[in-house]
Amino acid sequence: MPNTPLSGEKGFALLTAMVLLAVLSLIAVTMSKTTVNELRVTTNTRSHKAAFNAAESGISYVVATPALYGSNNLFLDPDDSPEEGKTLDTDSSFKVKVIYKGPNASENILRGSGFSAGKFRAHNYRIESNGNGPVGSNSDLRAEGYRIGF
């Protein structure tokens, strides 16, 4: 065969295709790992928000249920079993405990206690709510408040 201008270029197209394939494979693997990491972050964020919302639901449940902080539980034992409930999202639940901390500890009359301040007392309560979300996430919230009563 005579010496042609392309005789030294044998295999160049194959080599170029292999290098291009390697670069594209590297890009695909990197994008796949990035997508997996983003999915994990999104899942964790969603599950922690669900747990936080469940804990808030527990506090709202207590506020909407006066029997848990009314005159019948002025001497409630803080070790009593907590109230439990499910949220509308079936993957989330809460446990909430109402702790009676006693009348206003300083014995000072709170503003807004009424015109018969000697007759009424401000009773101090602490609400501890634990929310459980999907994928084992949980969130703890505490709230304190007063109820004006005898």
- Give pLDDT, residue 139: 93
Closest-CA residue to 149 (of 89, 68, 71, 55): 71
- For residues 127 and 111, give the distance between their C-alpha atoms in angstroms, rounded to a whole number: 22
- Give pLDDT, residue 147: 77
- For residues 47 and 11, give the distance between their C-alpha atoms in angstroms, rounded to a whole number: 54
Structural domain boundaries in the chain: 11-149
pLDDT, one tens digit per residue, over 12-60 is 889 999 999 999 999 999 999 999 999 999 999 999 999 999 999 989 8
- Give pLDDT, residue 122: 73
